[in-house]
Amino acid sequence: MTDHGEFDAAAAQVNPSVGLAGTLFPGGHRLEARVYFADTDFSGVVYHGRYLEFFERGRSDYLRLAGVHHKELAAGQHGEALIWVVTRMEIDWRSPARIDDILTIETRTQAISGARITMAQVIKRGATVLVQAKVQAAVLGPDVRPRRFPKEWIDAFQPDKPA
């Protein structure tokens, strides 16, 4: 395991569930997470704001496994210092999650244009869709102005093209 939370590729072939950061698949990323008591509200279901945190974990680990590390970007280790910011989010809650549920957070790239990336995210319990989100993020420079999406990242985040 590296300091970024990736897992050994050989170990992943033996057991695909190995890896704190989840797994990549063509056009996206999948992460599992357990619902803990701290994630729930007084009624025993996941508090609505916690879903934003689950989505953030999914996006962050997608970036990490694709080779984009927030700390390295902010430090300018790959050229100009860059940061990612969420600029828009649409969320549809369909069904509640409860304590001890195992959730699957899936993140897929929908589009990349200029400084923006649009991602579709879903949180499921088994086959049941609990929450869906459409997220738009932008890449900003140190002056907090938009920067074009770096060319070397486009292949890593290219939306899965239907056959």
pTM: 0.83
Between CA 78 and CA 98 the distance in angstroms is 41
Residue 136, Cβ neighbours under 10 Å: how many? 16
**CB-based burial label for 153 (10 Å; 0-12, 13-18, 19+):** middle
Residue 156, Cβ neighbours under 10 Å: how many? 15
pLDDT for residue 160:
64
Q: List, for the chain, all residue ranges whose pLDDT scores fall below the cut of 50.
A: 1-18, 162-163
pLDDT for residue 74:
83
pLDDT for residue 11:
45
From 8, 41, 92, 160, the catalytic residue: 41
41 is catalytic: yes
